[in-house]
Structure 1
Amino acid sequence: MEETVEHAEVARAETERGELVLRRRSRHGAPDVLELRVNGVFVMDTLETGSEIEMAALALDLVPDPRDVVVGGLGLGFTTQRVLADPRVERVTVVELEEPLIGWMRDGTVPHGPALMADRRLRVVNADISMAVAEARQRHDLLLLDVDNGPRYLVHGDNAGLYEQSFLEQCRAMLNPGGVLVVWAADEAPELADAVRRVFGDVTETAYDVLLQDRPETYHLYSAQVPSTP
């Protein structure tokens, strides 16, 4: 007999980009799972968080002194949580476009949110990451981008530019020597890899196997590092 999975809406918000829904997924004998959907498209949940954590861990391992980190996309906070778990990190700036999501993290609608948001090293900015990068006036050690589902599965068409060479050049310009960029994608994206390689001179693609609601999937992380010396 197939096991019944129940869904219950926890929060909903309408923005100029569409609909954000946070819902609870319940299965007998298993902990409840929170699931975030944007315009009906699954974005992430609190069960399969490995790739979000790994993108932070990968970058942190490459930089000896990662004091200043920028995260594009708050999501449900797991990338930021992993960054803040590193005692070397002194400042984390998260750029999140959707204000309701920030509110759900602050007010406990996402239960682990308030503890994360209370960290004094963390600053959350309600802004478009493309604008934040274009207007950056200082350099950072890590830039972690998990804003959409990658160039092949865009939730918002306007995000296509985040995977193109011109934006990646701006990303490189805001990184310190030895700084690292990591971009998350829901599927293999050779065009993204090529763009990163053109900008940084090299790229590393890391495949990450996940089990997404009992279905095997493979997510991809694209990372590159600015040379430590000119």
Structure 2
Amino acid sequence: MTEPEQHVEVARAESERGELVLRRRTRPGAPDVLELRVNGVFVMDTLETGSEIEMAALALDLVEAPVDVVIGGLGLGFTTQRVLADPRVEKVTVVEIEEPLIGWMRDGTVPHGPGLLADRRLQIVNADISMAVAEARQGHDLLLLDVDNGPHYLVHRDNAELYRERFLTQCRELLNPGGVLVVWSSDHSPELAARIATVFGEVDEKAYDVLLQDRPETYYLYSARR
């Protein structure tokens, strides 16, 4: 009989938006897995990172010179890691609203965090992505948004604004001509696709199949060019 998976809490923090929990899943004969939950909702883990990596790879393939990249959402760092692996990239700004998560990455609570954050091209900004985009200046080649589970499975209710035309228009204005926006979603969203197309003139949808804790799931990447 297969022994059951064990869950061990690694770190916990409270913010004005609620509770963040980092826990370790262990199973005999298998590598340990770190899992991030926000207000009890699964956000991501270190086992199934394919869609986070693909998000970065897709964006990088769409721009000839992705010199300056903005990423909304640090998570466990896999999108950032893939962006930094591209030698064309000279500057990466990651906007993360949850200060404890940044701390866990910096202090080694997330083991691969210190090495990732040591890259001199990387700047971590502790802020709300909506405010950061509103206050930023134009001049970015890529803008990657992975700050929630998508418009249909919000971790924070206020994040609904991030999938509406007003914010998407601000994202468009932030990009250089030819720059690309990519938005991650855990679910198919024709409404989001339509809004992006309204703002940018077109949108491309890509489905990405994953195996999440032994369950088949499909995530979606929505991209558009200024």
Q: Name segments (4+ residues, structure 1) moved above 4 Å.
A: none
Which residue pairs with 1:96 in the alignment? 96
Instruction: For 2:31 and 2:164, locate their aligned partners in 1 and report how far apart those are by CA, in whole Å.
Output: 39
**Mapping for residues 69-108 of structure 1, pairs under 5 Å:** 69-108=69-108
DSSP 3-state at the match of 1:89: coil
Task: Judge conservation of contact 2:138–2:176 (CA < 8 Å) in 1.
Answer: no
1:27-65 C-alpha deviation (Å, 9 max, x unpaired): 110000000000000000000000000000001001010
1:124-162 C-alpha deviation (Å, 9 max, x unpaired): 000000000011123200000000000000010000000
One-letter code of the match for 1:124? I
Which residue pairs with 2:211 in the alignment? 211
Cα displacement (A) at 1:172: 0.2
Instruction: For 2:85 and 2:53, locate their aligned partners in 1 and report how far apart those are by CA, in whole Å.
Output: 11
What is the TM-score with the length of structure 1 in the denominator? 0.97
Which residue pairs with 2:137 in the alignment? 137
Instruction: For 2:81 and 2:181, locate their aligned partners in 1 and report how far apart those are by CA, in whole Å.
Output: 18
CA RMSD in angstroms, aligned pairs only? 0.6
**Mapping for residues 182-197 of structure 1, pairs under 5 Å:** 182-197=182-197
Instruction: For 2:124 and 2:31, locate their aligned partners in 1 and report how far apart those are by CA, in whole Å.
Output: 29
Instruction: For 2:109 and 2:47, locate their aligned partners in 1 and report how far apart those are by CA, in whole Å.
Output: 16
Cα displacement (A) at 1:2: 4.8
Indicate yes or no: 2:108 matched with 1:114: no
DSSP 3-state at the match of 2:137: coil
Which residue pairs with 2:157 in the alignment? 157
Which residue pairs with 1:48 in the alignment? 48
Cα displacement (A) at 1:214: 0.3
Instruction: For 2:217 and 2:81, locate their aligned partners in 1 and report how far apart those are by CA, in whole Å.
Output: 23
1:68-125 C-alpha deviation (Å, 9 max, x unpaired): 0000000000000000000000000000000000000000000000000000000000
Which residue pairs with 1:28 in the alignment? 28
DSSP 3-state at the match of 1:66: coil
Indicate yes or no: 2:178 matched with 1:178: yes
One-letter code of the match for 1:21? V
Instruction: For 1:34 and 1:2, locate their aligned partners in 2 and report how far apart those are by CA, in whole Å.
Output: 21
